[in-house]
Structure 1
Amino acid sequence: MKANYKFSNICGTVYRQGNVLFTADGNSLLSPVGNRVSVFDLVNNKSLTFAFENRKNIARIALSPDGNILISVDEDGRALFVNYKRGVVLHHITFKKSVKDICFSPDGKFIAVTHGSHIQVWKTPNHLAREFAPFVLHRTYTGHMDDVLSIQWAEDSQCFITTSRDMTARLFTLNPVEGYRPKTFAGHRDAVLGAYFSKDGNEIYTVSRDGAFFTWRGKVEDLDSDSSEHDEDDDHPVASTSKFNGSASSSSSSVSRKIIHTRWGVHKRNYFNVPGSNISTSSRPAKVITVTYHSSSSLLIVGFSTGIFGLWELPAFTNLHTLSISQESISSLAVSPSGEWLAFGASHLGQLLVWEWQSESYILKQQGHFLDLNTLAYSPDGQTVATGGDDGKLKIWSMQSSFCFVTFSEHSAPITGVAFARYGTNVVFSASLDGTVRAYDLVRYRNFRTFTSPSPVQFTCLAVDPSGEVVAAGSTDTYEIFLWSVQTGKLLDILTGHEAPVSTLEFCPEGTNQLASGSWDRSVRVWSVFGRSRAHEAFTLNADVLVLAWRPDGKELAVSTLDGQITFFDVAESKQTNVINGRNDIAGGRLADSRTSAANSAAGKSFDSLAYTADGRCVLAGGNSKYVVLYDVREGEGVLLRKFTISENLSLDGTQEFLDSRRVNEAGVNIDSLIIDNDDDDDYERRRLDDTLPGVQRGDMSVRKYRRSARTKCVRFSPTGRSWAAASTEGLLIYSLDTPNTANFDPFDLSLDLTPSSVLSTLRSKSYLQALVMAFRLNETPLLQTVFEGVPRGDIKLVVRQLPVIYLGPLLRFIGGVFLKKTPHVEFGLLWVNAVLMIHGRVLRTGGGAIGGDQSLNMGGDMPSVLRVVKAALGECEETLSRLCDQNMSSLSYVVDQSKFIRQQEQRRQKDVEME
C-alpha cells in the first residue's frame, strides 16, 4: 500500500475572494480559492489547482504579459513569486501592508503595488541574469491621503494612473521628468475605484463607488512651459528621496509625452443610476463594486452591489448590455484580451461565471457550496463524486474535468448523507435534516423518488444496500432506523433499539444482508435486515459512536468513538480485534479563543469519518482538525503511516499549533477574535471568531461575522485506490498518487550545466544515450520528445541496452502517456517498446528484484501501472488503425469495382467496334 498521496485538485469551491484574471491567450481563467489558485481551461473544459499555498487567503493575483510569472498576494501583504507554467514557487516577498492592487507593466519589466497610501514599483526579476536580490525596488510614489485602490499602466509603460479612497486619481511617471509633478484628478464624492486611459491617450476615464463616471480631456501644452503653473495646488512630493533609484527617461513615446504634458479637465459627467434595493418607499442607486476597461474595443464593464453588471461603449457612454447574474454583489470581474468574454466572481455565493456578451451565452457557470461541505460519495467507477452541504444542495462533480455538471436543490435543510448504489452509477441518494431521503436519476437529472417517515424526523445518516434496492436512514429525534424500497417508495420496516440519536449507518459491502448502526448511546448494532427474526447483535463501547466503516470483504468493522479511539470488531466471531488510540494523532492546532494549548485541549480529538482502502489494509480517518491520518491495520496492527495537512491557511482557525502572544491585548483577549466591522471589506467571514455553546460546529448564528475553523467532515477513497477525497472547510480536496499535470516541473539530479541548450547540443553531437538521460533529468515534455525522435532507428536497441534501469519507468510512461497519443510515428514508438521488453523483460517481470531493490525506487515508478498505460495506448492505436483499415477496405473495394466496371465498358466498346 502506497502512502505518498499528494495534493491534486480542489472541487466544490471555485472562487472565494480577490480578483479573477484571464491568461494572455484568453483560453484560461485564474481564480483565487482560499489560499490557493485554480486555473480553469475554458477551451478544454478542465480545471486544476496549484499545490502552493499562501499563508492566508489570497487578496490579489497578477500574471505577467508573457504568461511566465504569477504573483499571488495574501491579506497581510505576503507574496509568492511563482513560475506559472510549472507551478513552482521561486521567491517569497513581504510588502508589509495589505495590497489592494498589483499589476505588471505592459512590457513586463516592472511591477506596481499599492502600499497603503503609497505606490511601490519593483523591477521584475530577470531569469536570464543571475542577481543577488530577486526583487529590486525601483521607486516609491506618494501623494494620496488614503489607501490606494487601483493602478492602471499606460500602453508604453512610461506612466500610470492610480485611484484612492481620498476621492482622487493621480497620474505618475515611471521615471522623473524635469519640471513635472503628478497630476491630480479631483471632483468625485466617493472613493474612486478605477481610472483608465483611452486608446489614443486623449481621454482619461474615472469611476467612483457612488456610480459617477467622469471623462477627462485636456489641451497639449507647450513642452517648454513650466508645468508648475498648472499644478499650483499640488504640493505633494513626487517620491521619497531614500527610495529613488530611477533616472530621467531619455526617450518617451509620443503617447506618454502627450499624457504627461496635458492640462486635464472634466469634459463630461455621467452616472450609471442602476436601481438598488428598495428602502421604505424610495429607491437608491446600487453601489459600484468593481470595474474594468477594455481599451481595444473601448468597452467599460461595471459590476454593482445588486449582482447586476453593465457594458458601456466609450466615449459616447452608450449602454450596450445590462444583466443580473447573481443575487449578491459582484466581487471581481475581468475581460479577455479579445474583449469577447467577461469573467465574474461573487464571493458571497462562491460563484464564478464567464459570459460571452455578444451571443449572450455562458461559457462557464460554476458555483461551489457557499456553506460547509458535510458529506461526499464516490460513484462505483470513480469518475464522479457527489457532495452535500449545509446549503441544502447536492452537487455532482466530474473527476476528469473537476467541474460540477448538475446541482439538485430540492432539499430545504443541510444534507447529512450521500450514497451511490454499489452496482449502479446512475442513481444517487441523499438524506437531509428536512426529514426526506431523495433518489436522483443521473441520466435524466431529476428527483424520481422521495422517502419520508410516518412522523416528521430529522435524518442524520444514510446507507444503501449493494444492490440499490433498499435505502436506510437514521433519525436524531426518535432514535429509529427507517428502511424503504427504492422501486416502490414504500416504508419496509422501522428498526428500534437505540436509546440516543443514530449517528452512522452502513450496509455490509459483501451482500450478507447486514446493516451496522452506531449511536450516541455508546453501542454498535449489527442487524439482519432481511431475516424474519430481525435479529441483531450489539457491541458496547466506552464513548459515543461517531462513525463506522466496513472492511471491503465484510469481515471487519471499524468504529470511531468520541474519546478518539478506533475500535475494530470481527463480526463473524463477535469479538474485538484491535484498538487504535488516535487522540494525539488527530489533535490539531489551537483555536484563537482557547485558553489551553493544542496538546491539552479536548476539542477535536476524535475522528468524524473513516474509510477503508480498496484492499482493506489501511484506514483513512479525519476529524475536527487540520489533519487526515492514514493507519496500517493489517494483522491487528495500528501503525500510523502518514499525516496529511489539509490546509496551512492562517485565515482559518485551528491551523497553528502555537499562538502568537504578541497578538494578545492587556485584557488577555486575542485580537483576532475581536469584531472588526469594515463596510468596504467584502470578505464577511474572516473578521470574527465565534464564541458559541459547546458542541456547536457551524458558528454562532446570532453574529454577523465569524471565522471558520480547519476541519474535515468526510473522507472517502476512490474505488480505484489511486486517490482519496476529503470534504473540508476549504472545499473538496483531492489527493492522488498520479501527477495532476503532466507538465508539472518535476526534475531530479539537476546541475547548473544541465540546460535545454546543453541537451540539444549533446543530441547534435550524436551522444543519444547521454542526451536522453539529460532530457529525463529535466523532465520537460517538448524537450524529451525532441530527443526521443532524434534517436535513429538503428540505434534504438543500443540506447535501450545501455539505459539505466531507473529510467525504464519514465521512458515507458512517456511512450504510452504522451508519444503514442500525439504522434503519427506509431512504428517508431513500437520499436522502442519492443526493445525495452526484449532487453529488460526479466527485470520488468521480477519487479526490480534482479538488481536487488524496490520496484518503485529502481525503475522510476509503479511498473504495473506504467505497463497498463502502455497497454491502453497500444489498444487505442490498434483501434484507430483497425478503424482506418476498415475505411480503407471499403475505399479499396470501391476502387476495384470501378476498375472492373471500366474494364467491362472497354470490352463492350471493343465488341461493338468488331460488330460494326
Structure 2
Amino acid sequence: MKFAYKFQNLLGTVYNQGNIVFTSDDNGVLSAVGNRISAFDLKRNRSQTLPVESHKSFTCIALSPTSPIIIAVDEDGEALVISLVSKTILHRHRFNRKIYDVQFSPDGRRFAVTFEQNVRIFTAPGQRSVDFNPFHLEREFYGSHDETTCIDWTSDSKVFAVGAKDMNTRIYPVARCPNLGVYSLGGHSDVILNCFFARNSLALYTLSRSGQLCVWDCDTSLQELWTDDAEEQQPETITNDPLTEHRPTDGDEQPQAEWQPKRRNRIVYTKKARHYYRELSKDQSNVTSSCFHKDTKLLVAGLSNGSFFLHEMPDFTLIHSLSLGEQSITSCTFNRGGEWLALATAGLGQLIVWEWQSQVFVLKQQGHYDQLLSLAYSPDGPYLATGGSDGKVKLWNTTSGFSFVTFTEHTSSVTALQFTQNGRAVLSASLDGTVRAYDMMRYRNFRTLASPRPAQFSCMAVDYSGEVVAAGSRDSFEVFVWSLQTGRLLEVLSGHEAPVSGVAFGSAADKQLLVTSSWDQTVRLWDIFQAKVQSEVIRVYAEALTVAFRPDGNEVAVCDLNSKIHFFDPSTTEQTGLIEAKADLGNFRRDQDLVCGKTASKGRSFTTICYSADGSVILVGGRSKYICVYHTKEHILLRRFAVSQNWSFTGMTEFLSKRSNTELGQRGTMDLAQNDSDKMRMSLPGVRAGDMSSRHFRPEVVVYGLQFSPTGQSWAACSTEGLLIYSTQRDELFDPFDLDPTITPQATRHLMHGPSPDPGRALVMALRLNQTKLMAEVIESIDKSEILLIVQILSDKYTKLLLTFCAMQLETSPHLEFYLMWIKTALFVHGKKLKSHSSNIMPILHTLQKALLRKKDDVLRLTQRNVATLDYAETMLKLSLEEKKSRPVDEEMEPLDDHSLR
C-alpha cells in the first residue's frame, strides 16, 4: 500500500476564535479553525480546509476586495499572506505583537493593521510593480493612549477611523489633508469595540463594549474634505499634534524659511444621538461583536448572552432580534449584498449564515464544543460518525464536510462508535451506562442497551452479522453482551481484574471470537457463541490499552502501557511479532511539567490502533503529536504524521525555555486573566458565570481515535484539533506500476491510434503508467463491442487497477453507462478469481459501492427536480387551456371602444 497521504479536510470543528469573512462572490464563508482556515461553499454545499498552517491559532483574517488574497494573523502577531488560488503561503511577516484588527481599504490598494498604540498602513500585495513586498510600510500613525482595537475606512479609501481601549475614536487621513490632521471623539465609558463610517460620508458610528452606541454627524463631506478653499478665509493656527506636524531637521532638503506649521482641523463632529443595547437586552450583557452594512444601513450587534439585534441606522429602528443560545456571539458579518448575515459562537463552536429577510438559515453548522473521543466510518465510506465528551453523536458527509444529523440522547461522554456491517445502524457506547443504536434511515434512537447495574462503558464492538453487541465496563471490570434485535442481555463475561480497555470481534479457525484487553495485563479470547463460554488468557506483562482484530481474523494486535505493540495468532494464542514503539512517540513536555521532554514522555504511550483494509499496515496514535504507520509483517515504521503544528497547544515543546520564566515561576503553571484568549475556560461545578470561578488551561495534543476508510484511500483521526482526514489525492500523484523504459505515454498513444492499433496492449500500458488522463483517454477510445474481449485477456492485478479507476471515474465522468459496462464485464469475467482474494478486493468493492451510491443520489435528485418541473408545466398548460375554453367567443373578438383605448 502506498502512503502518499496528504491532509484533505478538518471536520468536527467549524469555528474557534477570531472574525469570519464572506468571499468576494458571496458564495462562501472563511472561518478560522485553530491554526487553519476553513472555507464553506454555500452554493455547492461543501467545506474545505486550506492546506496551510500557522505556528499559533489565528485571531483575525482579512480578504482583499480586488484579489483572491487573505491576510491572516495569529496570536503571536505573525501575519501570513495566503493565496486562495494556489492555496499556499506567499509571505510571512512577524509583528511580534498582538494584532487586534486587519482591514483592507475598499479600493484594495492598502490595508491597515492595529499595532499596540499605533496604526500602520501597508501597500496591498501586488500593488507595487517594482518588487513583490506584501508588507511595504507607507505610514505609521500615533496618538492613542492605549491599544488600538478596530479600524474602518471611508468609501473613498482616503480616511480611516481607529478605536482604542482608551475609550476614544480617532480619525486620520491617509495622505496629507488640508482640513484634517487627526480628530478625536470621546463620549464612551468603556473600550471601543467597533467604529463604522456611513456610505460616501464622514458620519461615524462608534460602539463600545458596554453597549453604548454614539451617532456622530460631520459638517463636511468627503469631497469638501480635500479642498483648500477655506485657507484664505481663516488664519493659520499652530498645532502641537505630532501626527499632523512635520518639523524640518538638518537633513531636510527644504530650507528653514519655507516650513509652515499645519492648521487645526476644519471639520466639526457633533453627537447626533446616543443609544444603549443594555436597555434592549434588559440585563448587564456586553456587546461582543458588531458589523455595519453601508449600502443597506443595517447594524447588527451580538451580545454576551447569545442574542443579537438588527437595526436600521441612523434612526436605530429595530428590525429583528434573535437568541442563539447562552454563549456570547464572537463574530458577525454581512455579505456584500447585505442579504445574508454570518454569526459565529466560540463557546459552542457554531457557525450560522442567516437570511434575515426570509428568516431562513442558509448554513447552520456546529461541531463538538468539547473533545472528540471516537469515530467510525460507514461500511460504504461516504459517512463518518463522531462522538465527543459533550455526549453528542454527529454524522458527517465526507464529500461535503458538513454535519447533517446530531443525536443528543447520551448524557455523558461517548467513548466508542461502530456501524453495523449493512450500514443501516450506528451504535454508540457512553459513560452514562448505555449503548444506543440509531437508525440511518429515519435518524432516530430505536434501541437502548443497558446493564442490570450501573456501569461506565469504555469500549464497544459489533459482530459481522450486526446482531450481537459487546461493551466493556470501566468500573465493574465486566463485558456485557446483548442481542441488538431483541435488546436482551445475553451474557455477562467476568474474569478481568481491572478496567476493560478494548473489545473487538473477529473470525479465526471458522469460528467467531471476541477479544478483550484490560489494565490487568491480560488479553482474553472468548468464544461467546458456544453453550458454555470459555476464555483463553494471553499475558502481555503491561497494562493493555487497546486491541484490534485484523480484517481477515488471522491476527490480533495489542498496545500496552510500555508503548509495545504485540501481535498474536488467535487460533494458537502464540505471539507472532513485537514492535518497540517507544522511540517513535517523540519527546515533548507540557507547560506544567518541570522536566525536559525526554523525561516527561516516559509515562506516555499509544492508546488507539487500527488495521488497514487489507491488513498489511496498522495506524497507532495516543498521547503524542505523531501518528505512526507500521508494517505488520516486517514490523518496521513506514511513516510518521504530525497531528498539528499549532504551538497554542501544550505538549509541543521539548525543552524548558527561559523566555517563559517569570517572577512567579513558569508562565504555564500560572492561572492567567479571563481576557487571555489563548486559554480555554472551564467553570467549576455548581457556580454561576462571572463569579471568578473559571480556570484556564491550554489543551494538550492527544489522538483519541483512528480508523481507515473501507476504500483504503483515506483515514481519519480524532485529535484535540478536530477530525483530521488524510487522503491519497491521486490526481496530483504519479504512482506507476510495474514500469519499464519502453512504456511511455507516446508509445501508449501510438498503440491506440497508430496504423496497427492494439487497444488491449494500450490499456495495459496505461494501467501500468497509472496516469488518470491517459487511462481515461485510452478507455474512452475503445469501442463498447471490444470490452468483453479486452477484459478476458487482462490478468487479476490489472483487473483490480481497472476496477479502481472506473470507480473513481464514476464520480466525475459524464460517461456513466460506458464505465458501468466496464465494471459489469470485469466482475462477471473475473468474479470467481477475485473472490479468492477477498481481503484485497474488499477496498475496491467499497470504492465501487461508494461511487454508485453517490451517483444514485445525484441522479435521483435530478430526476425528482425534472419531475417537479414537468408537473408544474403540465398543470400550468391545463389551466391555460381551461381558461381559454371557458372564455366566450364574442369576448375574445370584442372590438375595443374609445373608452377602453383611453
TM class by smaller structure? 0.7 to 0.9
**Per-residue deviation, 1:687:** 11
Structure 2: distance between partners of 1:409 and 1:471? 21
**Per-residue deviation, 1:11:** 0.5
**Per-residue deviation, 1:809:** 6.2
User: Does the 8 Å CA contact 1:142/1:238 hold for their aligned counterparts?
Assistant: no
Q: How does 1:21-420 map to 2 (within 5 A)?
A: 21-126=21-126, 129=129, 131=131, 133-178=133-178, 180-201=180-201, 203-220=203-220, 223-225=228-230, 235-238=241-244, 262-274=267-279, 284-420=283-419
**Per-residue deviation, 1:729:** 0.1
Structure 1: distance between partners of 2:673 and 2:463? 50
The 3-state SS of whatever aligns with 2:219 is strand
**Alignment partner, residue 889 of structure 2:** none
**Alignment partner, residue 659 of structure 2:** 662
User: Does the 8 Å CA contact 2:239/2:245 hold for their aligned counterparts?
Assistant: no
**Alignment partner, residue 785 of structure 1:** none
**Alignment partner, residue 450 of structure 2:** 452
From the superposition, tell whether residues 609 and 306 of structure 1 become closer, same or farther in structure 2 (CA, over 3 Å): same
**Alignment partner, residue 685 of structure 1:** 680
Structure 1: distance between partners of 2:296 and 2:775? 46
Structure 1: distance between partners of 2:234 and 2:795? 84
**Per-residue deviation, 1:605:** 3.0
From the superposition, tell whether residues 61 and 809 of structure 1 become closer, same or farther in structure 2 (CA, over 3 Å): farther
Identical-residue share of aligned pairs (%): 39
Structure 2: distance between partners of 1:157 and 1:498? 72
**Per-residue deviation, 1:263:** 1.4
From the superposition, tell whether residues 234 and 357 of structure 1 become closer, same or farther in structure 2 (CA, over 3 Å): farther
Query: Cα deviations across residues 636-674 of structure 1 (Å, max 9, x unaligned)?
Result: x2110001001010000111233432222366x322332
**Per-residue deviation, 1:460:** 1.1
From the superposition, tell whether residues 179 and 269 of structure 1 become closer, same or farther in structure 2 (CA, over 3 Å): closer
From the superposition, tell whether residues 34 and 845 of structure 1 become closer, same or farther in structure 2 (CA, over 3 Å): farther
From the superposition, tell whether residues 399 and 605 of structure 1 become closer, same or farther in structure 2 (CA, over 3 Å): same
Query: Cα deviations across residues 822-842 of structure 1 (Å, max 9, x unaligned)?
Result: xxxxxx99876789x99xx99
The 3-state SS of whatever aligns with 1:601 is helix
The 3-state SS of whatever aligns with 2:138 is strand
Tell me the TM-score normalised to structure 1 length. Answer: 0.78
Letter in 1 for 2:816: E
**Per-residue deviation, 1:602:** 3.8
**Per-residue deviation, 1:218:** 2.3
Letter in 2 for 1:671: R
Corresponding position: 1:594 with 2:587: no
**Per-residue deviation, 1:134:** 3.9
Query: Cα deviations across residues 198-247 of structure 1 (Å, max 9, x unaligned)?
Result: 113152111111111111112237844469999999835248999xxxx9
Structure 2: distance between partners of 1:233 and 1:481? 83
**Alignment partner, residue 473 of structure 1:** 471
Query: Cα deviations across residues 147-177 of structure 1 (Å, max 9, x unaligned)?
Result: 1111111122111111111111111111122
**Alignment partner, residue 576 of structure 1:** 575
Letter in 2 for 1:708: P
**Alignment partner, residue 641 of structure 2:** 644
Q: How does 1:871-886 map to 2 (within 5 A)?
A: 873=813, 875-876=815-816, 878=818
**Alignment partner, residue 819 of structure 1:** none
User: Does the 8 Å CA contact 1:13/1:367 hold for their aligned counterparts?
Assistant: yes
Structure 1: distance between partners of 2:90 and 2:102? 18
Q: How does 1:514-593 map to 2 (within 5 A)?
A: 514-593=513-592
**Alignment partner, residue 494 of structure 1:** 492
- Which shows bigger deviation, 125-134 or 65-74? 125-134
Structure 1: distance between partners of 2:360 and 2:11? 24
Structure 2: distance between partners of 1:302 and 1:796? 73
User: Does the 8 Å CA contact 1:139/1:239 hold for their aligned counterparts?
Assistant: no
From the superposition, tell whether residues 544 and 263 of structure 1 become closer, same or farther in structure 2 (CA, over 3 Å): same
**Alignment partner, residue 610 of structure 2:** 611
From the superposition, tell whether residues 468 and 172 of structure 1 become closer, same or farther in structure 2 (CA, over 3 Å): same
The 3-state SS of whatever aligns with 2:600 is coil
- Which shows bigger deviation, 64-73 or 265-274? 265-274
**Per-residue deviation, 1:8:** 0.7
Structure 1: distance between partners of 2:164 and 2:386? 42
Structure 2: distance between partners of 1:810 and 1:74? 41
Q: Given the alignment, which residue of 701, 718, 724 partners 1:710?
A: 701
User: Does the 8 Å CA contact 1:76/1:97 hold for their aligned counterparts?
Assistant: yes
User: Does the 8 Å CA contact 1:192/1:207 hold for their aligned counterparts?
Assistant: yes
**Per-residue deviation, 1:178:** 4.0
**Per-residue deviation, 1:795:** 11
Letter in 2 for 1:369: H
Structure 2: distance between partners of 1:627 and 1:471? 32
**Alignment partner, residue 427 of structure 2:** 429
**Per-residue deviation, 1:190:** 1.2
Structure 2: distance between partners of 1:348 and 1:747? 44
The 3-state SS of whatever aligns with 2:583 is helix
Structure 2: distance between partners of 1:372 and 1:725? 15
**Per-residue deviation, 1:612:** 0.5
Query: Cα deviations across residues 700-735 of structure 1 (Å, max 9, x unaligned)?
Result: x98611110011011111011111110000000001
Q: Given the alignment, which residue of 451, 461, 464 partners 1:463?
A: 461
Structure 2: distance between partners of 1:51 and 1:36? 8
Letter in 2 for 1:50: L
The 3-state SS of whatever aligns with 1:651 is coil
Letter in 2 for 1:101: D
From the superposition, tell whether residues 509 and 236 of structure 1 become closer, same or farther in structure 2 (CA, over 3 Å): farther
- Which shows bigger deviation, 175-184 or 723-732? 175-184
**Per-residue deviation, 1:563:** 0.7
From the superposition, tell whether residues 264 and 879 of structure 1 become closer, same or farther in structure 2 (CA, over 3 Å): same
The 3-state SS of whatever aligns with 1:392 is coil
User: Does the 8 Å CA contact 2:119/2:141 hold for their aligned counterparts?
Assistant: yes
**Per-residue deviation, 1:865:** 4.3
Structure 2: unaligned runs, 5 residues or longer:
254-263, 685-691, 736-744, 822-858, 867-902
**Per-residue deviation, 1:678:** 3.7
Query: Cα deviations across residues 742-764 of structure 1 (Å, max 9, x unaligned)?
Result: 7x9x999xxxxxxxxxxxxxxxx
**Per-residue deviation, 1:381:** 0.7
- Which shows bigger deviation, 229-238 or 81-90? 229-238
Structure 2: distance between partners of 1:660 and 1:402? 39
Tell me the TM-score normalised to structure 2 length. Answer: 0.79
From the superposition, tell whether residues 874 and 674 of structure 1 become closer, same or farther in structure 2 (CA, over 3 Å): same
**Per-residue deviation, 1:55:** 0.6
Structure 2: distance between partners of 1:485 and 1:89? 54
User: Does the 8 Å CA contact 1:549/1:610 hold for their aligned counterparts?
Assistant: yes
Structure 2: distance between partners of 1:50 and 1:452? 43
From the superposition, tell whether residues 214 and 439 of structure 1 become closer, same or farther in structure 2 (CA, over 3 Å): same
Structure 1: distance between partners of 2:622 and 2:693? 26
Query: Cα deviations across residues 549-572 of structure 1 (Å, max 9, x unaligned)?
Result: 001100100000001100000111
Structure 1: distance between partners of 2:453 and 2:681? 40
